Amino acid sequence: MGEVVITRFAPSPTGYLHLGHAYSALFSYSAARQGNGGRFLLRLEDIDFTRCRADFEEALLEDLAWLGLEWETPVRRQSEHLDAYVKVAEGLRERGLLYPCFCTRKDILREIELAGGAPHGAEGPLYPGICRELSADEQESRIAAGEEHALRLDLGKALASIGPDALTWHDLGRETITAEPERLGDAVLVRKDIGTSYHLAVVWDDALQGITRVTRGEDLFEATHLHRVLQALLGLPVPEYHHHGLICDAKGQRLAKRDESETLRSLRNGGETPEAIRSRLGFEF
Ligand code: GLU
């Protein structure tokens, strides 16, 4: 008997779910059902109060139930656990692994231009390190003056504190992957606007909820390089990962929340059944 597979679907209520989300949710649900006594959890990643909305959350729950999914309750809502993420960030900061970054997007672009470019990472040019070397005095006085700031991971220090062993993870359908966190550089772990970040919250919650297999779209593959570092820093277990392909529209473009025609709502209003959608996406149950 294999290990129990515990998966989750972790949408952000920032729009209506479309076929791509349906695929991701069904992918996760099926993985749990195939496992012996597997469990499927739903988690609402609603920390970004600048974009999340209660009506989207309501619609999301309704659409998933309509699609035929069942999940355990209570559902974890990240917005109810902000204190926990703040505490995790404070712990990393006390260990000297985070530094305040006062840069605006404009400051970063200007610096990159002045330097004649910056190494390109997985998600665009890497942060050129402007605030990494600020003295403690300067950091303190700028914070005391009320300057807004994010907290970035000092990747060099983080890797030094982890030690020389390679960080790896098992990615189903690929192989064993060795983390290359340099691809993300000094990532923001605490955003200035929301007081935490997707990266910090997702890694913490996956461990807390005992997720054994993280299933999600390939668009988040790069983020896993950073997530693996956070697991090592925080002493968290490493789940297996399964990054799946993305559903595209007729033009081969990845579906986005703005593509109204492919939302589950509009398909349903157009007379599609959950069975038809499941089978169109390759999931029969
Ligand atoms: N909340 C993220 C999103 O909606 C997904 C998180 C994950 O699966 O790791 O894109």
User: 158: domain CATH number?
Assistant: 3.40.50.620
Round to the nearest angstrom and report the end-to-end CA distance of the chain.
Answer: 23
- The predicted model gives 47-70 an average pLDDT of 97
Of ligand 1's listed atoms, the one at least distance from the Cα of 217 is 8
Q: Residues 101, 181: one domain?
A: yes
Check the CA dihedral 75-59-277-247 and report its sign.
negative
**Helix (H/G/I), strand (E/B), else coil: 98:** strand
Nearest to 12 by CA among 58, 44, 53, 55: 44
Residue at token pair 């972790």: 10
CA angle in degrees (0–180, nearest 5) for 125-126-132:
145
Q: Taking the mean position of all CA atoms in its chain, how far away is CA 148? A: 24
- The predicted model gives 63-89 an average pLDDT of 98
Q: Residues 131, 237: one domain?
A: yes
State how far the alpha carbon of 269 is from the alpha carbons of 58, 192, 265, 272, in Å. 17, 40, 6, 7
Residues 239, 214 contacting (CB under 8 angstroms) = yes
Could you give phi then psi for residue 124, rounded to 5 degrees? Answer: 105, -170
> Is the model's pLDDT at 260 over the cut of 80?
no
Residue 31 sits in which domain range? 1-80+248-285
**Helix (H/G/I), strand (E/B), else coil: 168:** strand
The C-alpha atoms of residue 52 and residue 46 are separated, in whole angstroms, by 6
Q: Residues 21, 75: one domain?
A: yes
Q: Does 20 or 2 have the greater pLDDT score? A: 20
Q: Residues 209, 282: one domain?
A: no
Q: Is 87 a catalytic residue?
A: no
Q: Residues 25, 65: one domain?
A: yes
Q: Which residue of 171, 202, 243 sits with most ligand 1 atoms within 8 Å of its CB, as the best mutation to test the pocket?
A: 202
- The predicted model gives 201-228 an average pLDDT of 97
Q: Residues 117, 237: one domain?
A: yes
The two structure tokens encoding residue 277 = 């959608």
> Is the model's pLDDT at 257 over the cut of 70?
no
Within 10 angstroms of residue 51's Cβ, the number of other Cβ atoms is 14
Instruction: Name the band, by pLDDT with cuts 50, 70 and 90, for residue 1.
Output: low
Q: Which residue of 23, 216, 230 sits with most ligand 1 atoms within 8 Å of its CB, as the best mutation to test the pocket?
A: 216
Q: Residues 152, 233: one domain?
A: yes
Q: Which of 106, 157, 192, 257 is catalytic?
A: 257
Q: How many domains does the chain have?
A: 2
pLDDT of residue 250: 76
**Helix (H/G/I), strand (E/B), else coil: 16:** coil
The two structure tokens encoding residue 126 = 């890497």
> Is the model's pLDDT at 233 over the cut of 60?
yes
Ligand 1 pocket: which residues have CB below 6 Å?
10-12, 45, 202, 216, 220
- The predicted model gives 127-142 an average pLDDT of 97
Q: Residues 97, 179: one domain?
A: yes
> Is the model's pLDDT at 103 over the cut of 70?
yes
Residues 242, 212 contacting (CB under 8 angstroms) = no
pTM over 0.85? The answer is yes
Average pLDDT of every residue of the chain: 94
| Torsion angle defined by CA atoms of residues 125, 129, 130 and 134, in that order, rounded to the nearest 10 degrees | 170
Q: Residues 97, 221: one domain?
A: yes
Of ligand 1's listed atoms, the one at least distance from the Cα of 202 is 9
Angle between helices 82-94 and 198-208 (to 10 degrees): 100
Burial of residue 213 (number of CB atoms within 10 Å: 0-12, 13-18, 19+):
buried
The C-alpha atoms of residue 64 and residue 22 are separated, in whole angstroms, by 8
Q: Residues 188, 204: one domain?
A: yes
Q: Residues 87, 64: one domain?
A: no
Q: Residues 96, 229: one domain?
A: yes
